[in-house]
Amino acid sequence: MTTTATAAGGPGIDAPAAVAARLTDVTQHFGEASRPPVLEHIDLTVQPGEFVCLLGASGCGKSTLLSLVAGLDKPVSGQVDVPGGRPALMFQEPALYPWLSAGANVELALRLRGVPRKERKAEAQRLLSLVRLDGAAPKRVHELSGGMRQRVALARALAQEGDLLLMDEPFAALDAITRDVLHEELTRIWSETGRAVIFVTHNVREAVRLGQRVVLLSSRPGRVVREWRIDIPQPRRIEDADVSALSAEITEHLREEIARHGH
């Protein structure tokens, strides 16, 4: 196992001109300007095809950061650049339309993207196959398990065909076994599609299992305080010794941040 931990403000790796996303000195407030910011002086670059996990205590601004990258909000100061266009966004809840079939939910994203009607069904089938839901296209949402619904939501996100996929704790509400299976599937899909991923989680082991890089945010205001570049071969498992060891190290830093800020 090879990892590199970098404290905020320490030496970094020079980024090429092409990036999936870049945040430069980003600060975000909610409410009155006199209140402490949610995010403060965030500098973060995500390379094309990179899998980055954002980790931090509840309320540290992880989801806010994701909203800024998604273009759902604008920062009070600083700059957010997403050269590949609007990224796809996947939430903790599947947010599927219950009156539509699984296939029709995916087709809707394709229609909004401008894919011709005659091509949408075949493409929806291909995306459902990619997430291992062959034959599920005609099923209604109530006929799908929680894990299957998240697979449909992932297929719908992939249908948006952005260069960047944003995932806001998409597996947090699932049981451990289903989450474990979807970790494997997400790793496979990421490898096959080559998309960059920013994955928000508060689960340290999940971050270490999935990410090429884990970025730790301090408690409010959220700042990038440390990051780890991970060179544990994929596929990884939660119970792997290397995953456990690095998770313990990161957890200690997370605890220090929580204690420092009184959260």
DSSP 90-103: E-SS----TTSBHH
Average pLDDT for runs of 10 along the chain of length 263: 42 58 94 78 96 91 94 94 91 91 96 92 94 93 93 93 91 90 93 95 94 93 94 90 95 86 59
Q: What pLDDT score was predicted for residue 17?
A: 45
Domain match, 83 and 182 both: yes
Q: What pLDDT score was predicted for residue 33?
A: 63
Q: How far apart are alpha carbons 133 and 24 in whole angstroms?
A: 39
H/E run at residue 26: strand 21-28
Domain match, 216 and 251 both: yes
Q: How far apart are alpha carbons 200 and 65 in whole angstroms?
A: 9
Tokens of 146: 């929680």
Domain match, 78 and 190 both: yes
Q: How far apart are alpha carbons 163 and 161 in whole angstroms?
A: 7
Q: What pLDDT score was predicted for residue 16?
A: 44
Q: What pLDDT score was predicted for residue 217?
A: 94
Q: How far apart are alpha carbons 242 and 120 in whole angstroms?
A: 43
Domain extent, residue 152, equals: 96-161
Pairing of strands 88-90, 164-168: parallel
Q: What pLDDT score was predicted for residue 258?
A: 80
Structural domains counted in the chain: 2
Q: What pLDDT score was predicted for residue 164?
A: 96
Domain match, 130 and 213 both: no
Domain match, 153 and 189 both: no
Domain match, 241 and 179 both: yes
CB-CB contact of 58 with 219 (8 Å): no
Domain match, 128 and 246 both: no
Domain boundary among 123, 142, 161: 161
Domain boundary among 105, 133, 161: 161
Domain boundary among 136, 161, 186: 161
CB-CB contact of 211 with 164 (8 Å): no
